[in-house]
Amino acid sequence: MTAKQKHHTVRFEMLLTKEKNEHWQALADSLNISKAELVRRKMAGCRIKTIPQVNWKCYWQLLKISDDINQIAKTHSIAIAQGLTPPQFDLILFEELIAEISRLRLCLLLGSSGEPE
């Protein structure tokens, strides 16, 4: 058993909303620590870097846009399944757009460009 395992032997569980879990995970990721370590540090009174409110607003707006794109693609697929002929568009472009939106959302939370250096 490692020293860390000997020190942290009691398991503590908590329930979070999906949004709060994403927030804590992003914060922990930005500090390169686990959520458990984030909670330990916060409980110990350590100052934790916060994500600016404007980043959160953009994050949620991009999520709504991504959801809308998914709904368009889903409606298109349902129309085809029902034998209708919807307007043609490239679903691959939609998938690429959703991937780019996801990357942007992550950048807003982690504060990095996500581009390799």
User: What's the pTM value of the predicted model, to 2 decimals?
Assistant: 0.52
Tell me whether residue 14 is in a domain: yes
Tell me whether residue 71 is in a domain: yes
Tell me whether residue 58 is in a domain: yes
Given a cut of 60, whether residue 1 has pLDDT beyond it is no
Q: What dihedral angle (degrees, nearest 10) is formed by the CA atoms of 96, 102, 104, 108?
A: 180
pLDDT band at 117 (very low <50, low <70, confident <90, very high): very low
Whether residues 30 and 79 share a domain: the answer is: no
Q: Which residues contact 32 (CB under 8 A, 6 or more apart)?
A: none
Rounded distance, CA 102 to CA 96, Å?
10
Q: Output the six-digit token pair for 19.
A: 């949004």
Contact 16, 25 (CB under 8 A): no
Give the mean model confidence (pLDDT) for residues 52-77.
89
Which one, of 54, 39, 55, lies nearest residue 110 by Cα?
Answer: 55
pLDDT number for residue 3: 58
Range of the domain at 23: 3-43
